[in-house]
Each structure stands twice: as structure tokens, then as C-alpha cells.
Amino acid sequence: MSKTTKEEALVKAQAAFGFVPNLMAGIADTNPAVAAAYLGASAALEGGVLSPAEKQIVMLAVSSFNDCHYCTAAHRTAGKALGVSQADLEAIDDRKLPSDPRSRALAEATWTMLSERGCVNDARLARLGVSSTEAFEIIAIIGLKTISNYVNHIQGTEIDAPLRAQAKRALRKVA
């Protein structure tokens, strides 16, 4: 198996996002294989059961839980473009339950799985309003967002210009 090059990773990022986000440029510069893995997992999840807007809600919930300055701005921007209300985006980013019932179920299920480290049974999932199929996808998104959230913490990623209007968190200073 050949190594993924930085150039290959950047071409894939450009194709996926329409531009090369600072997050992906930083990952590709440091470890192109991680960039390829992230982009591959993102592409695979496009075939999941959650709608694009629902995925953004879950991604924002994970990113707010992990206090990621970059990803919260990215998922607020994408969520708004997909029709998620600004009030619900702000609530999720503040780790509060949104008013929309489906958004509420997804955010609460995501935070529960994160805080319980996945130790959630079918009965609890049902009470949260998500199926096992949806829960598995939420778990995959948690894994994906953990990569980007932690990388952003380590590299102090500058928020891209198209995302700045939805940015509200300052870069978290790492000791």
C-alpha cells in the first residue's frame, strides 16, 4: 500500500468542500494519512440514515461538548445553510436543548452517548428518541468529530473566512 501524499489529501479536501479548509490543510501537512482517513469516513457517512441537517446537528453537539472553536463555527455555518434555525444552532452550541423536537432528540442522544461513553441500552435510546441504527451513526460521527476537534485543539486552527460569521468560541489555550 502506498503512502498518501499531502498533495493527494489536499485534492480530496478541495473536492469534498469546494475549498481547502484550514483544518484539512493542517492535517494534510502533518499527517496526510489522517486527512485521507477523515475524508474517507466523512464520505462513507453520506450514505447513512441521518439527513445532512441532522448530521450537522450531531456534529455541532459533539463539537460543543468538546469545546472546539473551529468545528462549532463550521457546523453552525453548514447547519444554517441546511435550514436549521439560528436559535437551535445557538442552543446546541451553548449545550442547551433546542426547541425543534428532532434536533432536541439528536443533541440529547449525542451528549448522553458522549457523557456515558457509549454505555446506553436500547431502552435508553428509545427514551431519547433515536433508533439503534441512528445511534450507530451518531457514534461514527463522534469518532470523526473527535479527530477534528482534538486536531483543532492541538494545532490552534484559524477559522476560515467563510465560517467566521458563525464563530463564537475563542481558541482554547492548551497548557
Would you kindly state where each structural domain of the chain is located, as residue ranges?
1-47, 53-166
**Do residues 70 and 25 touch, judged by C-beta distance below 8 A?**
no
CB count within 10 Å of CB 171 equals: 14
Mean pLDDT of successive 10-residue segments in the chain (175 residues)? 79 85 91 91 94 97 95 94 96 96 97 93 93 96 96 89 76 65
pLDDT at 11: 85
**Do residues 10 and 38 touch, judged by C-beta distance below 8 A?**
no
Domain 53-166 part of CATH 1.10.1070.20: no
Nearest to 103 by CA among 163, 59, 44: 59
pLDDT at 2: 62
pLDDT at 174: 63
DSSP string, 70-109: HHHHHHHHHHHHTT--HHHHHHHHTT---SSHHHHHHHHH
Q: Which three cell numbers stand for residue 151?
A: 486536531
pLDDT at 49: 97
AA letter at 20: V
